[in-house]
Amino acid sequence: MFTRIDHVGVAVEEIEPALELYRDRLRLRVAHREVVADQGVEAVLLDVGENHVELLAPLDSGTPVGKFLAKRGPGLHHVAYLVDDVDATLAALREAGMPLIDEHARVGIRRSRVAFLHPRGMGGVLTEIVQPAADVAP
């Protein structure tokens, strides 16, 4: 079901200072940058081998990441697992009784299809499953 970790999501107040850390000091390559309106974030994906760090800055304070920052401050936000088939994985997780935030997949960064599992079923870890678009390398 889960093939590997795709990325860790890191909540930041602003993208540029975070890029000074991840891109300039850690020398990670920026693979993609996008405003994901559906999730209320500006997101930047940086490559770490075949995995990624996903920086997430809220579009405004009322978005999920904006509320997260207000409550907990910047830091680790979620862990995302790569899956072959997000619909089949969601169905299997539902059947296993896992609490889901998203009953259906939605559009994520780079036209991926994503869904979030509730942290209460995951030991407190907000968890995302991600199926890349067919023409985008994971």
As measured in angstroms, the least distance from the Cβ of 44 to Co ion is 11
Q: Evaluate whether 77 touches 89 at the Cβ level (below 8 Å).
A: no
Cβ-based nearer residue to Co ion, 1 or 95: 1
| Separation between Cα atoms, residue 86 and residue 12, nearest integer Å | 27
As measured in angstroms, the least distance from the Cβ of 60 to Co ion is 19
Edge to edge, the sheet with strand 127-131 lists: 29-36, 41-48, 51-58, 2-11, 75-83, 127-131, 113-117, 106-107
Give me the residue label for tokens 């970790």: 5
Cβ-based nearer residue to Co ion, 11 or 19: 11
Among 44, 46, 57, 80, binds Co ion (CB under 5 A): 80
Written as one letter, the residue type at 125 is V
Among 40, 44, 128, 131, binds Co ion (CB under 5 A): 128
Among 54, 68, 69, 113, binds Co ion (CB under 5 A): 54
Task: Confirm or reject binding of residue 42 to Co ion (CB under 5 A).
Answer: no
Which residues contribute to the site for Co ion (CB under 5 A)? Answer: 9, 54, 80, 128
